[in-house]
Structure 1
Amino acid sequence: MVYRRCGCADAVTGKRLGNRCARLADPAHGSWYFAVQVTDVSGRRQRLRRGGFPTAGVARQAARDIAQSLEGAPVTGYCTVAQWLRYWLSVAEQRIRPTTYKAYRDHVRLFLVPYLGLIPLRGLSRRHVVRMFSSVAQRHTRYGKPISAATLERIRATLRAALNEAVREDVMHDNPARGLRLPSPRHVHPMVWTPRRVAAWRRTGERPAVAVWTIEQLTEFLAFVRDDRLFALWWLIALRGLRRAEVAGLRWIDLDTDRRELTIACQLVHTDHGLLLCPPKSASSQRGIALDLDTLRLLYRHEQVQRDELGIDWSPSTPMFTRENGGAIDPNYLTHRFHKLVMASGLPPVRLHDLRHGAATLALAAGADLRVVQGLLGHASIVLTADTYTSVLPQLYRESARATARLVLKAARKTARKVNNARRGT
């Protein structure tokens, strides 16, 4: 069966309106869902639900595709790794975030099925898995670079999750991907665009893997994009460290002007069925962002411009940042747009995500505690915050150096006085 579901929320409580939505009669409002009964590889019947489809026809076709992919799946006795992985993906989709599902699906399609797909699931051994990773490690990306240790770890995480489910379903007895040793991912720390690095970049094109601007470079960029219609968006990312999906998912109901706070309640992600609002990356990512008066005034001006552009179509549930036609902004578009603006500005290159790193280093340089920065970025652990931002702005380095020198010199003078007093006493 297929049915339409409204995603509108109450402007005050933030809860779904459901049948109370005044736009339910509009045939173009909401998205379509399907529910279908399937038989899993263990012979049990399960009810699967999927949503976010633009039309009833697309939802019906997706339901048929899932039913066909599971049709004829063997019942426990003989099941290949490929059959299990496809079944696992079909039931996992409803439990995980769309971006996680896409990563799982790509790993299955590009690596797991080609190397392990024909092996009987119960015959899969640790030797098979080790051989697969040895082969994958020798491959190169489309940019000609070797597969990174971080990518290998993510592929292993996908395989481990799929096989853990097989163990829970009693389809296999042990998980051969558990405890597998892989090369440790190399953690890349943000590097500041110092004058020497800028000079080397202009001369040879050499650039850090992760780079952040100095305060002067950031202010130069913000001045350059002052007249851009998304200026408030670049400002928020640069100063408050929002992720691109978080800023694309902001709505005006997320802004509390009395408390001067912005609530990160959802994110906008690109899926196979279009743009979809979903919960933030993690529980810690759902957070409140404190705003200063300048940022509030900037958002207020942006709101007035948007109200004039959209007219009666504007509502508190309207996305805070939209395209020229009033539609939601694809996070991928933000990455592309930011890249073009940086090139046009003539500044040393940084990625859009590097603005988030820059916001953290700015906060640290301003004297913010690590706990504050952790909350600002929505990190689950302060260890991640501390490990990532050991490289900070030059001003902080200089202040630390001065403080260290003052401490040593003070102790040295104290020691010298004691020595001199002892000599005079003798």
Structure 2
Amino acid sequence: MASIEHYETKKGRRYRVRYVKPDRKHTDRRGFKTKREAQIFLNTVEVSKLEGTYIDPTQGKVTVGELAEPWRARQSHLKITTSTGLEQALRIHVLPVWQNVRVADVKRTAVADWVAAMSKTRSPTVVLRAHGALLGILGDAMRDRLIPVNPAADLDNLPKRRRTEHIYMTHEQVAKFAEGSNGRDCLVYTACYTGLRWGEMAGSTIARTDTGRRRLRIVENAVYVKGKHHVQTPKTHELREVEYPAFLDDLMADQVEGKGPDDLLFPAPRGGFLRHARSRERWFKRGKESAGVPASITPHDFRHTAASLAVQSGANVKAIQRMLGHASAAMTLDTYADLWDEDLTVVAEALNRAREMKLGQKQCRGIRKAPRSAISRGSRGNFIGVSNGT
């Protein structure tokens, strides 16, 4: 049975609430200044027990730091690049501030202040990654019923990711870039006309290259992290095939000649996996200068170029999504929204042409608006209107 009793302290009378937890263990809460405060607390406890939402106050004494490592270990499903970023966020931004703070003592305003302070000196990506780690840790605490709500959830001051400006090359610029790339023309063309991620090209093998069908089967992604390559599934875990254009036949035939099934399609100059190209590498600088493209172009802009050229060719968004390996067509549209800016005009012009073909050019001349009297009165002067919703 629950009860409320008073006791004396140097500061005056205080009240203690004794009650039974859902696990049938007895506990108490003391320090209430008035009996009314104690009764309100007891009522809250009894209601939460009935609703199944009771949270044991003693459970919230575990610290953020104690939950951080188990939470990180449970993120084994993430790609190596993502998990590495989370580890850095924990080490640099989360644990220095929250490690010794009990989860029950984490306040929403304190989390918001932390986010605001980081946002002054760190990029949105860094801030969002750090906040995401704390959000995940406290989310586990909430699901384990250590705290009633997640104080890091639904913040209104999280920064927005800045959309990076894409650089799109034309067919002519791609050709000049390839010609000036010091023997990497097949790699440049493949990247710019298939949209493969750099790691997907690095992980491509001869066995998964079908020159007869002009298909590359994308099964592995080789990324360079922490001083070594990690071979894993593609970014969205989806295996796919991409087809390269016919003009690449001769270059691709040369690329596979003399290699075994397990050999890499695009090996590094000294063998092994191809490391991510850096903008300052000699071959990339030469290609850039030859093409006359902006100095800020990066190897990832090859992928953006593939998307741009595909849109210009008339490919639908679903086909482009499959080519790029995006999780959804919505992601493709969101990433390359600027490529579809002229779509409304194109659609309107196409509809106009279609109507002319069906009705004839004479009937499709501008439709004139009929006089108001002609549409407001019938032949006998009766008003022609629309019923009032009945």
TM-score by length of 2: 0.68
Give yes or no for the alignment of 1:97 onto 2:97: no
Shift of 1:409: 11
SS at match of 2:338: coil
Three-state SS of the structure 2 residue aligned to 1:375 is: helix
What does 1:194-343 align with in structure 2 at a 5 Å threshold? 209-225=165-181, 227-228=182-183, 230-272=184-226, 274-284=228-238, 286-304=239-257, 307=258, 315-331=260-276, 333=277, 336-337=280-281, 339-343=284-288
* Correspondence for 2:71: 88
- Under a length normalisation based on structure 1, what TM-score does the superposition of the two structures give? 0.62
Structure 1: runs of 5+ lacking an equivalent: 1-75, 141-146, 190-208, 308-313
| CA shift digits 1:345-403 (9 cap, x unpaired) | 34323221111111011011111111100111111111121222232399x77983993
Q: Is the 8 A contact 1:212 1:357 kept in 2?
A: yes
Secondary structure of 1:253's counterpart equals helix
Q: 2:362 and 2:336 mapped to 1: Cα distance? A: 34
Cα distance between partner residues in 2 of 1:417 and 1:85:
68
- The 1:110–1:405 alpha-carbon spacing in structure 2 relative to 1, beyond 3 Å, is same
Change (3 A) 1:316 1:165: farther
Determine the structure 2 residue equivalent to 1:31: none
RMSD: 3.5
1:301-328 deviation line (CA, Å, top 9, x unaligned):
0122xx3xxxxxx532222212222121
Question: Could you say what secondary structure the match of 2:272 adopts?
Answer: coil
**Which secondary structure state, in structure 2, belongs to the residue aligned with residue 276 of structure 1?**
strand
Which amino acid is the alignment partner of residue 363 of structure 1? A
Q: What is the aligned counterpart of 2:127 among 152, 158, 162?
A: 152
How far off is 1:93 after superposition? 5.5
Report deviation, 1:405. Answer: 10
User: What corresponds to 1:403 in structure 2?
Assistant: 349
Q: 1:124 to 1:118 in 2, by over 3 A?
A: same
Quick one: structure 1 residues 339 and 162, their matched pair in 2 at CA, closer, same or farther if it must change by over 3 Å? farther
What is the SS of the residue equivalent to 1:330?
coil
Judged with a 3 Å threshold, the aligned counterparts in structure 2 of structure 1 residues 170 and 253 are, in CA distance, closer, same or farther, namely farther
Q: Give the corresponding residue for 1:112.
A: 94
CA contact (8 A) 1:287 1:378 kept: yes
Q: CA deviation at 1:160?
A: 2.0
Shift of 1:288: 0.8
Amino acid aligned to 1:289: V
Question: What residue ranges of structure 2 are gaps of 5+ in the alignment?
Answer: 1-58, 372-390
* Structure 2 CA distance for partners of 1:165 and 1:249, relative to 1, 3 Å: farther
Gap change, CA 1:397 and 1:176, over 3 Å in 2: closer
Partner of 2:330: 383
User: Take 2:191 and 2:218, find their aligned partners in 1: how far apart are those partners?
Assistant: 13
Query: Once the two structures are aligned, what percentage of the paired residues are identical?
Result: 23
Q: Which of the pair has more CA radius of gyration?
A: 2
